[in-house]
Amino acid sequence: MPQNLFPLDNTKKFKDQKIVGHNRWHPDIPPAVKIKPGTVFCADCREWFDGAIRNDDSADDIRHAPLAGVHVLSGPFYVEGAEPGDLLIVDILEIDACNQEDSGPLSGQGWGYTGVFARNNGGGFLTERFPDAYKVIWDFRGDVATSRHIPEVSYTGIHHPGLMGTAPSAELLARWTAREKALIATDPMRVPPLALPPLPDSAILGSLKGAEFERVAAEAARTAPPRENGGNQDIKNLTAGSRVFYPVFVPGANLSFGDLHFSQGDGEITFCGAIEMGGFMDLHVDLIKGGMAKYGVKENAVFMPGNRDPQYSEWLAFSGVSVDSGGKQHYLDSWLAYQNACNHAIDYLMKFGYTDIQAYMILGTAPVEGRLSGVVDIPNACSTIYIPRAIFDFDIRPSATGAPHQVKQGVQVPRSGN
Amino acid sequence: MPQNLFPLDNTKKFKDQKIVGHNRWHPDIPPAVKIKPGTVFCADCREWFDGAIRNDDSADDIRHAPLAGVHVLSGPFYVEGAEPGDLLIVDILEIDACNQEDSGPLSGQGWGYTGVFARNNGGGFLTERFPDAYKVIWDFRGDVATSRHIPEVSYTGIHHPGLMGTAPSAELLARWTAREKALIATDPMRVPPLALPPLPDSAILGSLKGAEFERVAAEAARTAPPRENGGNQDIKNLTAGSRVFYPVFVPGANLSFGDLHFSQGDGEITFCGAIEMGGFMDLHVDLIKGGMAKYGVKENAVFMPGNRDPQYSEWLAFSGVSVDSGGKQHYLDSWLAYQNACNHAIDYLMKFGYTDIQAYMILGTAPVEGRLSGVVDIPNACSTIYIPRAIFDFDIRPSATGAPHQVKQGVQVPRSGN
Amino acid sequence: MPQNLFPLDNTKKFKDQKIVGHNRWHPDIPPAVKIKPGTVFCADCREWFDGAIRNDDSADDIRHAPLAGVHVLSGPFYVEGAEPGDLLIVDILEIDACNQEDSGPLSGQGWGYTGVFARNNGGGFLTERFPDAYKVIWDFRGDVATSRHIPEVSYTGIHHPGLMGTAPSAELLARWTAREKALIATDPMRVPPLALPPLPDSAILGSLKGAEFERVAAEAARTAPPRENGGNQDIKNLTAGSRVFYPVFVPGANLSFGDLHFSQGDGEITFCGAIEMGGFMDLHVDLIKGGMAKYGVKENAVFMPGNRDPQYSEWLAFSGVSVDSGGKQHYLDSWLAYQNACNHAIDYLMKFGYTDIQAYMILGTAPVEGRLSGVVDIPNACSTIYIPRAIFDFDIRPSATGAPHQVKQGVQVPRSGN
Amino acid sequence: MPQNLFPLDNTKKFKDQKIVGHNRWHPDIPPAVKIKPGTVFCADCREWFDGAIRNDDSADDIRHAPLAGVHVLSGPFYVEGAEPGDLLIVDILEIDACNQEDSGPLSGQGWGYTGVFARNNGGGFLTERFPDAYKVIWDFRGDVATSRHIPEVSYTGIHHPGLMGTAPSAELLARWTAREKALIATDPMRVPPLALPPLPDSAILGSLKGAEFERVAAEAARTAPPRENGGNQDIKNLTAGSRVFYPVFVPGANLSFGDLHFSQGDGEITFCGAIEMGGFMDLHVDLIKGGMAKYGVKENAVFMPGNRDPQYSEWLAFSGVSVDSGGKQHYLDSWLAYQNACNHAIDYLMKFGYTDIQAYMILGTAPVEGRLSGVVDIPNACSTIYIPRAIFDFDIRPSATGAPHQVKQGVQVPRSGN
């Protein structure tokens, strides 16, 4: 292993570590580690809820998930010589769970979880259909995941960091806050909310203390959304072997990352989330001086995915268009079309004996592909979802003869509702 | 070749053929051909504008493209024994251009086109950035496309039908019309329009004549959008070897198809369109009796993609989030996020000497992947676009050393504006 | 289609065509067609036995297969400007059966065959185990093959030409004859023979006539083996989209080709052969002047495979080492090791209810991979064979629980013995 | 990590470890560890020469490589309940180098080596062309290898164990010894030898001592060749995610393994070897009771490769036939044909400025495919080798225009000759 520059003690909470990371974006969070371009290093990552979700058969922890505290991030890493306008090269050399196959209280220690938030505490992509909280526990064997809560399915995970990015400049941060507050103002009482404003409660800001802590906590951006700095992009294809290019907005770039996923389907539709895990990444960083202008990159990550993600060649796919469940026509809404495609897939899987929530959990975590198939054919966008057939222990194809195989149910998916 | 049940004479217009197809959806368009389940057959397909777009260096034909006449479809094929509630199995056995390598006046005769509509005649995905009409001509050599209008790029096309579907029932048609008119009513003067209402002008309705023609023409749905019956889904992965399942809404299913694409990137972002071509498909049809209930399929195509699409393993990818060009925050808008990802890719490619429209055309036609990477991280959706690096004759990767390669320009992309 | 420069009339024998091809290698076989570098053209290809093998349930035709007449080749194509020392570029643009789905008396007309020669008329890779003649008929549906003689298996074929090459120079031909005769002389009575000497009987030599025909027929090399000019390499990866580079030994290069395969496993272990078919290829030719010296190519084809061959991602693999069935140790014999791997695969498949010959036929025709895994670990070479699991209608994996699925037998594989 | 049942101290020699492994095959080598079916465990593996090869720029260590001491194996692992006739299931869950990116004296500690043996100490696949000893050092960065001795090439390694197998029965061991001695007897003075007889010198036999050690050392089989028990198969496709089935010949199966490779081309043509490394594997074992009869497996590994090996889609391929360098015709010799294909690839790469030994080293270590393309076309076998084009920093394709790129040489490949 390369040197671990951000070690985490699995017996301690995130804010009690020797080097304390952060869970907000702000230019004035001090660097945790300084490195030179060309450095190869290891960094531990804590699972995004810092251990609040347990390996058990209750979804109460998901129902009351401490959303104010996410995402606990490793960093910032200050890269010497990095200046605004550069592109920061990040090579993801390795990524894995912290302690495979072991039992342990932290997800990543041989297991991971996927949750669906209750509508009144986070909500999610299909919150109309699934208004309660749910949880599924996955067991890891090498890179393969199985769950006691979902029968007859297993797959090779597509490991990736859900979240990685550079620090925003003060100007950029101000822009984020302004535009997100403006959105919230359009429907401030909405449940779930339209966006998340700055929140001092539960903020972790590295080594900051006192008045400076208070100031930054009040200003800092939440980590939930992806933004110009990369951030919580949840791109499942940022696998080991990927090279990612981030815009640099502050001196030193101040790279941070976390929210590791054992596996995820495109969209992370279950929101809480993929198969969440603590673990580590081996990274290599370098710079393209003046890269933003040189390559026309103003925002968001540019990347070259790795070539070792799990390969599947036989798929079952579903499509959807942008008409909502009430029959109302929306204009070219790819997001709604993807909801419909996902709902169609769930309806289909239920015919094989899965419950609706089991089917939803599969779509959120297996290496499914979600594509923007048609975005111009007014008024309907068409989105499609592709499920690898080999993840099922049985034949999942439609057939003119015989009845669909019925899975044998065991432990049901834990649910926690009102 | 299997027997051609829907031959087209390349010297004649679509409505002057021996068997006349249609360009609207309506349950009362009479079947053109009757077939039994299990039949394997060939059918010719005319390119979607029926020859109005020419192999030349002017975009005037695109600027004045006869939108009222699209899409000219082969069919309906009445499948004996098909009843509402069944699933129609369609195997795409082969799909290719009509006359490879030949010169000829119809796209598909050794060449194809990609257009970008002017904002006031169709518009498109990036119509803010590209308000004029543009056209690019592609030459086919086997399954490889190159263009005199875009230097130093070539790729193996991912052939597929842009449009395939079954006839709607009267009830379903009425629902379409109602919901789309309701949408139009929210902004009836919009340019481009929000949706396309029924339009008797230029309607082609198979063998219908007289009063019945008039009635159906006034009621029939336009073919632009994908809907419950499949339709213009523009799924690039419906390649040869695919098996597609369509819901059956009328006796006989009344399958129709057309709008063949030599290649397309996810989204068909250029709208007019992919690389458009006339050609043929070899199909096999069969039935799953009662399949809609058996497999929980209420609408839209379910499919298993073929395994012979072109394989690429090295990619360059761009991401975008749902903030518009004016800096306004939108709520989880995957469509807007994809626009941003596409714009980022265009900005990048321009640094290698491509013009903006050349870059746009590449994204619309090469086998690029467009993924819904994040759909839950409020308020920003994250969409990503993946370009195969091997389609360029040069190294397209960002580099810390040296300047980006500059392509050598030849014939510019034809443009037709005001 | 590009212009067909070598059309074949399916109602006539190969030697009765308007343009007559050839079935021997010799520098003095006159060109059938002259083309310029850069030409794109189509050429028909007759199946290698010129129609002697029928679509029926008897293997008598295989038992008495007219070996003296193979392979009937399209060509020679004289490429203007080609000189010895050049590399001839051949792009395989398209390749397909002649008349898909039709019934017809020629293989390639909707069907193909695979044979196993009797030991006393050709033999084969596993002739010890299969000394008699066998035949299997395959039905084509698009690019998918199934057989009435082999239950519960189907696969997307990997179309390719078994044979393609340039004409040898007189000097090269003399070398071939000398070295092959020397080999035959080590065991001249062997059945099957070690090699095939020149044979005037059944020779077809294009437009040659009279004394010149007699001279060339007596000298010309048989087409069975691959040699310095390419020839019968049986490389399954020469799929559409491939670019192949052949050394040029005579002015004009004199390119010829044929022996099209609908599909083949690595090695073409059944010998007679792959799934044999007549059909056509679209080709593009060009030259690298002085390419042999420029790129260090003295012999055999260099090639870049296409990227549209069928993709499979789940495999079942078998290995073998170089100990023969009598228990004798051989020194690093990869060929023997591959025999053992194939025999192991056959033994395995028989546990699922296949007969030995059915299993053999699957290995010879499905897109199986055969790899030289170890070639240095004295004294045992290790060869491996990989079968795509998706070609079976059932689960082919070994399992700790339950018994192997048993296929339901129908028509048995025709056999013709003594 | 699962529990490490076979830990190795990197500061100590293999025979000085707390648990001592072995470097010979014999049924009476006592189990090092006992495990139950279903166990998931980790085991360290020492590189095959136990640290004799150094990270420096001299090939003297290769020239005098202590061949008598190979391969140092982890095991035997006694699986409770395993009996002769069972199949042992081994899942390779993870495999990696021992200490990535670190410097350290053992290969696997951030680096690995590839050697070519001198003809008089081991020889190799192309020993006629390369009679001296050579060494190349590779640096690991994540799963990517580069070498200071070979410019402008890098690739994602295809990690796998070169050697894994079960213990032979006494009867099987006797058969091995007899047949290999019989082969040696045909040319006992050959350099390199035809096979390796039992050799007490340098034998390591676990916990055996005294007279029993002497007896077993005198009888035990060398580990170089693959045999009925699996053994040194050098199958590059035994990547993480693979499931392997081994025949069981002795109670407890007595599984052993080692000779980890960071990467290897098909054939391991450089012999010493692939990119050799120490490291670890996470394994899961289970049993199919009576599996040998149930699935017709008498010998050698059956396996299902993993689905996470590095993906490449563009290749450059070379072919060869079975005529030796003296022009002599051999009968269907796939091994000789592969030598020719490899030599052709070397000749080609030299035109880009590589030395012959650099080219050889690339073929031995990059994830190249080696296929048995034709094994029946008397008298010539055809073998082919496929090099992924993306491993080169430049365009490796043949071109009609311009001269081949010339790599910029740095440190030459260390050589040690007479």
Global pTM exceeds 0.90: yes
Contacting chains of C (3 CB pairs or more, <8 Å) are: A, B, D
Contacting chains of D (3 CB pairs or more, <8 Å) are: A, B, C
| A87, A246, A253, D191 from A289: Cα distances, Å | 7, 12, 12, 57
Structure confidence at residue B273 (pLDDT): 87
Structure confidence at residue A313 (pLDDT): 94
Contact list, D321 vs chain C (CB under 8 Å): 225-228, 300
Asked if D316's CB is within 8 angstroms of C304's CB, the reply is: yes
Asked if A329's CB is within 8 angstroms of B179's CB, the reply is: yes
> What is C4-304's CATH topology?
Jelly Rolls (2.60.120)
Asked if B282's CB is within 8 angstroms of C144's CB, the reply is: no
Confidence bin at A73 (pLDDT 50/70/90):
very high
The Cα of B277 is separated from the nearest Cα of chain D by a number of Å equal to 27
Cis amide prior to D379 (ω within 30 degrees): yes
Per-residue pLDDT reduced to its tens digit, A346-379 = 999 999 999 999 999 999 999 999 999 999 999 9
Question: Taking the C-alpha atoms of A8, A10, A16 and A21 in order, what is their torsion angle to the nearest 10 degrees?
Answer: 40
- State yes or no: pLDDT of C101 exceeds 80: no
Q: Which segments within A117-182 are labelled E, that is strand?
A: 133-141, 144-147, 150-156, 160-165
Contact list, C124 vs chain D (CB under 8 Å): 376
Write down the ipTM of this complex: 0.97
DSSP state of B291: H
Structure confidence at residue B14 (pLDDT): 98
Confidence bin at A2 (pLDDT 50/70/90):
confident
Q: How much is the mean pLDDT over chain C?
A: 96
Tell me the sheet residues that pair with D147: D138, D150
Confidence bin at C104 (pLDDT 50/70/90):
confident
Asked if B183's CB is within 8 angstroms of A331's CB, the reply is: yes
Q: Which two tokens stand for residue B177?
A: 């019309």
Contact list, B334 vs chain A (CB under 8 Å): 334-335, 338, 372, 383
Looking from the CA of B283 toward its CB, the CA atoms found within 13 Å total 31
Asked if D314's CB is within 8 angstroms of B390's CB, the reply is: yes
User: Which of C271, C331, C403 comes nearest D376 by C-beta?
Assistant: C271
Contact list, A143 vs chain D (CB under 8 Å): 93-94, 240-241, 308
Count of other CB atoms within 10 angstroms of residue B111: 24
Structure confidence at residue A101 (pLDDT): 52
Structure confidence at residue D104 (pLDDT): 86
Mean pLDDT of A391-413: 96
Q: How far apart are CA C385 and CA C341, in angstroms?
A: 6
Q: Which residues of chain B carry a pLDDT beneath 70?
A: 99-102, 418
Structure confidence at residue B196 (pLDDT): 97
Structure confidence at residue B417 (pLDDT): 87
To test the contact with chain C by mutation, choose from A154, A309, A313 the residue with the greatest count of C C-beta atoms within 10 A, namely A313
3-class DSSP string for C9-51:
CCCCCHHHCCCCCECCECCCCCCCEEECCCCEEEEEECCCCCC
Structure confidence at residue A98 (pLDDT): 84
DSSP C134-152: EEEEEEEETTEEEETTEEE
| A48, A118, A120, A130, A417 from A64: Cα distances, Å | 15, 9, 10, 16, 11
Cβ neighbours of residue B129 closer than 8 Å, sequence gap 6 or more = B343, B346, B356, B360
Contact list, C314 vs chain A (CB under 8 Å): 313, 390
Tell me the sheet residues that pair with B89: B245, B286
| Ramachandran class of C152: left when φ > 0, alpha when ψ lies in -120 to 50, beta otherwise | left
Which residue on chain C is closest to B38 by alpha carbon? C141
Provide the H-helix boundaries in D197-303: 210-219, 291-294
Q: Which helix (H) or strand (E) holds C364?
A: helix C356-365
- State yes or no: pLDDT of C375 exceeds 80: yes
The Cα of B41 is separated from the nearest Cα of chain C by a number of Å equal to 9
Number of H helices, E strands in chain B: 6, 21
Give domain limits for chain D: 4-304, 315-416
The Cα of D262 is separated from the nearest Cα of chain C by a number of Å equal to 16
Structure confidence at residue C418 (pLDDT): 67
pLDDT means per 10 residues, chain D with 418 residues, are: 92 97 98 97 96 96 96 98 98 88 83 96 94 97 96 97 98 98 96 95 98 98 98 97 98 98 97 95 98 97 96 96 97 98 98 98 98 97 98 96 96 92
Per-residue pLDDT reduced to its tens digit, A309-338 = 999 999 999 999 999 999 999 999 999 999
If contacts are CB pairs under 8 Å, which of residues 332-371 in chain B contact chain A? 332-335, 338, 340-341, 344, 347-348, 350-351, 369-371
User: Which of A1, A2, A100 comes nearest D282 by C-beta?
Assistant: A100
Q: Are D256 and D248 in contact (CB under 8 A)?
A: no
Structure confidence at residue D418 (pLDDT): 67
Q: What are phi and psi of A312, to 5 degrees?
A: -130, 145
To test the contact with chain D by mutation, choose from A244, A286, A308 the residue with the greatest count of D C-beta atoms within 10 A, namely A308
Per-residue pLDDT reduced to its tens digit, C279-292 = 999 999 999 999 99
CA angle B258/B262/B267 to nearest 5° reads 80
Structure confidence at residue A104 (pLDDT): 86
Q: Are A203 and A59 in contact (CB under 8 A)?
A: no
Q: How far apart are CA D124 and CA B85, in angstroms?
A: 67
Strand, helix or coil at C339?
Answer: helix
Listed residue (C224, C217, C219, C232) closest to C171, CA to CA: C219
Asked if A101's CB is within 8 angstroms of D142's CB, the reply is: no
The Cα of D395 is separated from the nearest Cα of chain B by a number of Å equal to 9
Asked if C351's CB is within 8 angstroms of D296's CB, the reply is: yes
Q: Which two tokens stand for residue D47?
A: 């590189």
Q: How far apart are CA C376 and CA C1, in angstroms?
A: 48
Asked if B313's CB is within 8 angstroms of D390's CB, the reply is: yes
If contacts are CB pairs under 8 Å, which of residues 63-122 in chain C contact chain D? 87, 89
Mean pLDDT of C316-345: 97
| B109, C36, C46, C378, D401 from C39: Cα distances, Å | 17, 6, 22, 50, 18
The Cα of C311 is separated from the nearest Cα of chain A by a number of Å equal to 6
Asked if B300's CB is within 8 angstroms of A321's CB, the reply is: yes
Place of tokens 């190349």: D136
Amino acid identity, residue A280?
A: F
